[in-house]
Structure 1
Amino acid sequence: MKTKLTRIALLLAAIPLTPLAMAQTKEETKKAVVKEETVVVKEVTVIPAPGTLAAVINDSVTFSILAKALKAADLEATLGDLKGSYTIFAPTDEAFMKLKEGTLDKLLLPENKEKLRSLLMYHVIPGQFISSDLKNGEITTANGEKVEIDIKGSTVEVEDSKVSKADLIVKNGVMHSVGKVIVPKSLDGFAGLDED
């Protein structure tokens, strides 16, 4: 009889522990699953609206370095948006190649992103200006600094860089090609940039 009672007592004592033990096992399993979960971070690709400044730059072999720089500076979305209107003095690949050796590589480093943005936005004027709209004097750029425009007959110069191809009108603005990377005063001397 004692043996029967002992067995029953042991069985009764074990019953309340079983759900607790099972709960702990389930929780430990959940923790193990959570620890093994892999987080996948997808890189967001910005696709500029067709016919925008960013799309035209991306599709042109003449502006491949500018396209790469715009992407590195997170400016593709700005110049690829139909909501804004901009005028860009777009440096050609040849213009970027005129920079001192190593300058472009340094500008493209992630830690220099803000400097690159400032440099690129110095080539952008809010609003749409075809060459006949431009006047002699200074105009404020998208980086907040002023750029000098010089009109000599039918020739337009921006900071002593001649506009080689003017008035490419697109859905969100106008593009003028320039043969020199123009440098704002705030970046003069950084990574070999100068205002020669």
Structure 2
Amino acid sequence: MKFLTIAAGALLLAGSPALADHHGGMTKTVVETAMASPQHETLVAAVTAAGLADTLSGSGPFTVFAPTDAAFAALPAGTVDTLLKPENRTQLQSVLTYHVVPGKVKAADLVSLIQANGGEARLTTVAGGELVARVEGGKVVLTDATGGTATVVATDIAASNGVIHATDAVSLPG
């Protein structure tokens, strides 16, 4: 079985945001695109608290499986507040980078990869963990290291340095 493994070092390439003419006219980075979304306010707050905004505004490219505000709200009470505390920054970074795959993986490419690999694709995240993607009921579902699942609810939200796919749950690295 083939595995989608993309060098995690791409996250370290935190240069200036890419120029729009090199990325199909898109001028907003994945962070700026998430900031413009009313469904990703918690994610943006978490990225900022984790000190990852500059990195994720770099050249990338990045594929971000972005939990919605409702996904964060579904976590046990107090989880988000605890993660946002400065003393938990490393844990927050781990959770957030578990949602990022280096490279630009559009929805159609991911579905093709799933089909080509017997019904699942293994995505190596920037955190070094793995998300397993499958198609269930016509939608891409990600299984995290704890066995939790997140359904992709919006796809191919374009950014100058990658692509965002919104999810209905927060994936956990284990």
TM-score of the aligned structures, taking structure 1 as reference length: 0.67
**1:46-125 mapped onto 2 (5 Å cutoff):** 50-81=27-58, 83-125=59-101
**Identity of paired residues, percent?**
38
- C-alpha displacement at 1:79, in angstroms? 1.4
- C-alpha displacement at 1:137, in angstroms? 2.6
1:130 is the counterpart of 2:106: yes
1:151 is the counterpart of 2:135: yes
Contact residue 48 and residue 55 of structure 1 kept, 8 A: no
Q: Which has the higher helix share?
A: 1
Aligned residue pairs, count: 138
1:172 is the counterpart of 2:161: yes
Aligned to 2:44, the other structure's residue is in SS state helix
Contact residue 68 and residue 168 of structure 2 kept, 8 A: yes
- Partner Cα distance (2:99, 2:109) in 1: 17
- Partner Cα distance (2:76, 2:54) in 1: 29
Q: Mark the runs of 5 or more structure 1 residues left unpaired by the alignment.
A: 1-46, 186-196
- Partner Cα distance (1:86, 1:183) in 2: 19
TM-score of the aligned structures, taking structure 2 as reference length: 0.75
- C-alpha displacement at 1:74, in angstroms? 0.7
Choose between structure 1 and 2 for higher RCO, CA contacts under 8 A separated by at least 6 residues.
2
Contact residue 73 and residue 113 of structure 1 kept, 8 A: yes
Q: Mark the runs of 5 or more structure 2 residues left unpaired by the alignment.
A: 1-15, 19-26, 115-119, 144-148
Contact residue 124 and residue 141 of structure 1 kept, 8 A: yes
Structure 2 residue identity aligned to 1:62: Q
